[in-house]
């Protein structure tokens, strides 16, 4: 089992550029989560999908952020335009949905630096 796969692992971009982060969940999992981790704010849930449908996007900071899940095996998180305050580690996680009984499996993260 390859686990949750994220790409790229590192991204350095200039302010104003579009950034796309990608995630492949574990096969068979039907819940997918995007988190952001910073020193100041800790680990924040940005958005949560179940069966490819967004369930809770209340953590998405602003309209510059968007997330899609076109099918069960792929999701993207896009930032357009990017700003220096978006610099963080972004994690994707997946799980089986059963009312929270099952653990979330985290990917290795994408470290984003916006200069």
Residues engaged in binding another protein (CB under 8 A): 4, 31, 33, 42-43, 45, 48, 50, 55-56, 91, 93, 95, 97, 99-101, 103-109
Nearer to another protein, 45 or 72 (CB): 45
Nearer to another protein, 7 or 80 (CB): 7
Provide the minimum distance between the beta carbon of 31 and another protein in the complex, in angstroms, as a whole number.
Answer: 5
Provide the minimum distance between the beta carbon of 90 and another protein in the complex, in angstroms, as a whole number.
Answer: 11
Nearer to another protein, 74 or 89 (CB): 89
Query: Encoding tokens for residue 73?
Result: 């095996």
Provide the minimum distance between the beta carbon of 97 and another protein in the complex, in angstroms, as a whole number.
Answer: 5
Provide the minimum distance between the beta carbon of 16 and another protein in the complex, in angstroms, as a whole number.
Answer: 28
Q: Which of 58, 100, 102, 63 is nearest to 80 (CA)?
A: 63
Q: Which of 35, 34, 38, 22 is nearest to 84 (CA)?
A: 38
Distances (CA, A) of 63 to 2, 18, 55, 59, 79: 33, 13, 17, 11, 9
- Plot region of 70 (φ>0 → left; ψ -120 to 50 → alpha; else → beta): alpha
């Amino acid at each position: 089992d390859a686990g949750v796969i994220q790409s790229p692992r590192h991204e350095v971009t200039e302010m104003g550029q579009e950034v796309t982060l990608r995630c492949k969940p574990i096969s068979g999992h039907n819940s997918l989560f995007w988190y952001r981790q910073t020193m100041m704010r800790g680990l924040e849930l940005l958005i949560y999908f179940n069966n490819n449908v967004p369930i809770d996007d209340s953590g998405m900071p602003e309209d510059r952020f968007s997330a899609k899940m076109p099918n069960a095996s792929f999701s993207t998180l896009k930032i357009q335009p990017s700003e220096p305050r978006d610099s963080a580690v972004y994690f994707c996680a997946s799980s089986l949905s059963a009312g929270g009984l099952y653990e979330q499996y985290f990917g290795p993260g994408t470290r984003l630096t916006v200069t």
